[in-house]
Amino acid sequence: MQKKEAIDNLINRLFSGDRLAAARIMTLIENQSRHGASILSKLHPKTGRSYRLGITGPPGAGKSSLVEKLALEARKSNFSVGIIAVDPSSPFSGGAFLGDRIRMQNVTQDSGVFMRSMATRGSLGGLARTTQEVADVLDAFGKDLIFIETVGVGQSELDVVNAVDTTVVVLVPESGGGIQAMKAGLMEIANIFAVNKSDRPGSMELASEVEEVLNLNPENKNWRVPVTRCSCLEGWGYEEIFKEILAHREQVISSGIFKEKRLLQAEEKIKELVKASFEEEIWGNLENRKTLKKMAGQISEGKLDPFTAAGKFISKIKFSAEKKGSE
């Protein structure tokens, strides 16, 4: 009871702009606290307004520095800003990568910016979900623009991309040419390319290569993916990137994609919660777990195959046909 009041108090403090309350709520959500669902339910009515940006690219591309620069641009235009930095840091690294975060000091001392670092600790499972939930908290906290910084283009990262409205892919001259970017699946996800560290040799070539590859795609209709160059070291180029972000945002909102994405996300969220609930129902049951272990043993001995096993298993659990029309 008392705990519930404490949670309600935290939520009210978040609504009134209390940064510590926001941070505390994010920690509860990241740690999968049992209060997570009820907190997110209560925050939900205040969400749906923020615009979400994904900043992705290989390790070492200077994503953190670029996010900081873009956040400063956003602040100049009076947008409030949230930043989620996803670190695929490992049991090896511990807190070793604070360096990146320290570099972001310029923006994190601005009260219009809220920065959250999330460590994946080697496990990427569930990352996309937690990232989205933390973004929801930032949304309810009133941030206009939320930057989500991630590495790579694996499935988990693709899920993150599905949860953002504009994706900026950051490349560097060293990260290989346009063909490499294409092989890595970056062409599909980029709304804007940013060739960072363009003070180094090869940046012009990389930019033209990426443009050439983009021109191979016959399906660019409503949006021509711009290839921009910037140098955080020399301090140029990010104004242009931010301009392109605003232009893409304009197009995403006016075309209805923004609204449509939120509908799809709501569907996905329900599906995910339903799935989680059924899995808990099935595998939380000791008898079922025993059957599973027994069947796995028979499978690894070649006496049973997984398909027959699953069929047998399913035949023991049935749905009652209580699906009566709409709610």
Under rule CB under 8 A, which residues in 226-255 are in contact with a second copy?
none
Examine residue 317 and tell whether it contacts a second copy (CB under 8 A). Answer: yes
Identify the residue among 174, 205, 234, 250 touching a second copy (CB under 8 A): 174
Examine residue 119 and tell whether it contacts a second copy (CB under 8 A). Answer: no
Beta carbons of 70 and 147 less than 8 angstroms apart = yes
> How near is the Cβ of 242 to a second copy at its closest, in Å?
26
Choose one: 24-32, 111-119, 237-245, 276-284; the region binding a second copy (CB under 8 A): 276-284
Site string for a second copy, 181-220 (x = CB under 8 A): -xxxx-xx------------------------x--xx-x-
Examine residue 127 and tell whether it contacts a second copy (CB under 8 A). Answer: yes
User: Look-up: residue for tokens 């309810």?
Assistant: 140
Largest CA distance in the chain: 67
Identify the residue among 92, 95, 201, 221 touching a second copy (CB under 8 A): 92
CA distance 216 to 20: 49
The rounded Cα 209 to chain-centroid distance in angstroms is: 28
All residues at 6 or more sequence positions from 3 whose CB lies less than 8 Å from its CB, including other chains: 35
All residues at 6 or more sequence positions from 174 whose CB lies less than 8 Å from its CB, including other chains: 60, 197, 200, 202
> How near is the Cβ of 170 to a second copy at its closest, in Å?
14
**CA-only gyration radius of the chain, Å:** 23
Site string for a second copy, 59-78 (x = CB under 8 A): xx------------------
> How near is the Cβ of 97 to a second copy at its closest, in Å?
7
Q: Is 184 exposed, middle or buried (0-12, 13-18, 19+ CB in 10 A)?
A: middle
Choose one: 6-14, 18-26, 52-60, 103-111; the region binding a second copy (CB under 8 A): 52-60
Task: Report DSSP letters for 23-42, one per residue.
Answer: HHHHHHHHTT-TTHHHHHHH
Choose one: 66-74, 109-117, 122-130, 141-149; the region binding a second copy (CB under 8 A): 122-130
Please tell me the count of residues contacting a second copy according to CB under 8 A. 99
Examine residue 284 and tell whether it contacts a second copy (CB under 8 A). Answer: no
Site string for a second copy, 94-113 (x = CB under 8 A): ---x----------------
All residues at 6 or more sequence positions from 284 whose CB lies less than 8 Å from its CB, including other chains: none
All residues at 6 or more sequence positions from 116 whose CB lies less than 8 Å from its CB, including other chains: 23, 26, 82, 83, 84, 85, 134, 138
Examine residue 17 and tell whether it contacts a second copy (CB under 8 A). Answer: no
Beta carbons of 50 and 82 less than 8 angstroms apart = yes
The 8-class DSSP code of residue 154 comes to: S
Examine residue 297 and tell whether it contacts a second copy (CB under 8 A). Answer: yes
Task: Report DSSP letters for 255-267, one per residue.
Answer: TTHHHHHHHHHHH
The number of CA neighbours under 13 Å toward the Cβ of 161 is: 21
Site string for a second copy, 139-158 (x = CB under 8 A): ------------xxxxxxxx
| Nearest residue (CB) to a second copy, 201 versus 325 | 325
> How near is the Cβ of 287 to a second copy at its closest, in Å?
5
